[in-house]
Amino acid sequence: MALSKTNYLNFSAMGKPTVKQMLTTVVMLSVPAILAQLTSVVMQYIDAAMVGNIGADASASIGLVSTTTWLLSGLCSSLAMGFSVQIAQLVGAGRDDDARSTFRQGILLCLSFGLLICAVALCISPNLPTWLGGEPEIKRDASRYFFVYALSLPSPQMRMLFSSSLQCSGDMKTPSFLNIMMCFLDVVFNFFFIYPTRKITLFGFELAVFGAGLGVMGAAIGTALADYVTMLFMMLVCIFKSDKLSFRLGGNWRIRKNTLLAALRISVPSAFEHAIMCTGYICSTLIIAPLGTVSVAAHSLAVTAESFCYMPGYGIGSASTTIVGQSIGAERRDIAKRFSWCAVLLGVSVMTFMGFLMFFGAEFMFSLLSSDVLVRSLGADILKIEAFAEPLYAASIVCTGALRGAGDTLVPGILNLVSMWGVRITLSLLLVPHLGLYGVWIAMALELCFRGIIYLVILARGKWLRRQVGI
């Protein structure tokens, strides 16, 4: 059961793997994605610290619009998933030429959609901070940050398509490496765009370092440039180097009805899920905004800090999507089920350990993220609340990855609707008047535990194994 150089597994010829073999395979597929996710989080810490050192207002201005950027990013991810899940199942079925044709159709439709949401986001950028209830001192920076983000939207849309297509074709290493590169580029570009020209001391010598001095807007420009560079490299790898997707191997650009319908069956429920979650996040922002700048900044930075804990789960979830998609394409649902449970076990174990580190390292994390004493204190407190939810949060992340590999995105959408609006938002509204920001994070922790339990029940029932995207 050895992996090829692109991590492709021949599920159709595979016997009954042992637990050790399955865990080894999941780990080998997960490690590149986990490393990329962890590196991304480290870079987010540096990014947040760069902006946080400007002041609480700067952090709050980005935090105010972050939920909207998540929403748009989620829509981009959903459309990319509509094609990448098909690619996973086609590769598993040995239909590589059809996989390449599906990839090309994805390029055409994702580029069109990226340009469309770019135009919509540009139109709303001037008024978005006001709609979200931002305080006057942060509205200008928030609007500028979102404007630059809107201009960049075609790039993350295409990067997500290229990255997820490579992963679902079996190549986990290349997109992981390039995503790590993007994080380093983000820091470098931020270094020059956020701060003004200044003098630094290096090896005893004083040097003048150029800086654009754009503050919050500079952070947006740095991130956008890093994304565009990474997207171009992803595109070159897909077109010229991929063993499964390269244009030199064949395929066609004709839009096929069955491919489009299959993409919509996957993408629409997934987009619905992201819309549910992100409108819930936006609602949470509206609940938090009246609590003041310190609460908005602490909340935004705590979300960044928590990502250190849950990003490994998303790496394992990506591996789960690839394994389940390819095994179902090969008509090996027995392997899909066993691998999904191994992935859940690994995800829960890793994120439990990360939650332990997060609880005892909360103060240290915030000492790196903000120079404001009040933001540090409040942020560390709410982060400790969230640590208790990480094991079941892991279960929900990895189970979602397995369901997506099977092409089932409707059930996660329905579950998240109930969980987000029935539990998190309802509890937040009840607790905030009495507990302030603490109430929001208590509600969040309880909702994540509820979500994890429900997903484990769905995975155990096994109905998702009968789904296939109609390839």
CB atoms within 10 A of CB 371: 14
Give me the residues paired with residue 55 across strands: none
Single out the residue of 100, 118, 109, 101 nearest to residue 82, CA to CA.
109
Q: Where are the beta strands (DSSP E) in 321-428?
A: none
**Structure tokens, 458:** 């769905």
Report the C-alpha dihedral over residues 328, 334, 339, 341, rounded to 10 degrees: 120
pLDDT of residue 103: 93
Single out the residue of 248, 234, 246, 239 nearest to residue 174, CA to CA.
234
- Helix locations, 172-248, DSSP H: 173-193, 216-236
Q: How far apart are the first and last CA of the chain?
A: 26
**Structure tokens, 433:** 């008047």
**Structure tokens, 197:** 């020209």
**Structure tokens, 112:** 């069109």
| DSSP letter assigned to residue 249 | G
74's CB contacts (< 8 A; 6+ apart) are 271, 273, 274, 275, 277, 278
With both helix axes pointing from N to C terminus, report the angle between 293-329 and 136-152 in degrees, rounded to the nearest 10.
Answer: 20
pLDDT of residue 41: 57
Which whole-number Å values give the CA distances from 17 to 13, 21, 334, in the listed order?
11, 6, 10
Single out the residue of 395, 413, 402, 397 nearest to residue 456, CA to CA.
395
| AA letter at 451 | R
Q: How far is CA 272 from the centre of its chain?
A: 16
CA atoms within 13 A on the CB side of 19: 5
Q: Can you tell me the distance from the alpha carbon of 412 to that of 396, in angstroms, rounded to the nearest whole number?
A: 9
Q: What is the tens place of the pLDDT at every residue in 59-72? A: 778 777 877 887 78
**Average pLDDT, 10 consecutive residues per value, the chain (471 residues):** 46 62 71 62 61 72 78 83 84 86 94 94 92 83 91 92 87 84 87 81 74 84 91 94 89 86 82 77 81 83 80 80 77 80 89 90 82 85 90 91 79 84 90 90 93 91 68 55
Query: Tokens 């394994």 identify what position?
Result: 323
Q: Where are the beta strands (DSSP E) in 281-412?
A: none
Q: Can you tell me the distance from the alpha carbon of 151 to that of 159, in angstroms, rounded to the nearest whole number?
A: 15
| AA letter at 427 | L
Single out the residue of 20, 69, 33 nearest to residue 322, CA to CA.
33
**Structure tokens, 220:** 């947006």
**Structure tokens, 65:** 């619009």
Strand 196-202 with 205-212, pairing = antiparallel
CB atoms within 10 A of CB 363: 14
**Structure tokens, 133:** 């209830």
Q: Where are the beta strands (DSSP E) in 158-305?
A: 196-202, 205-212
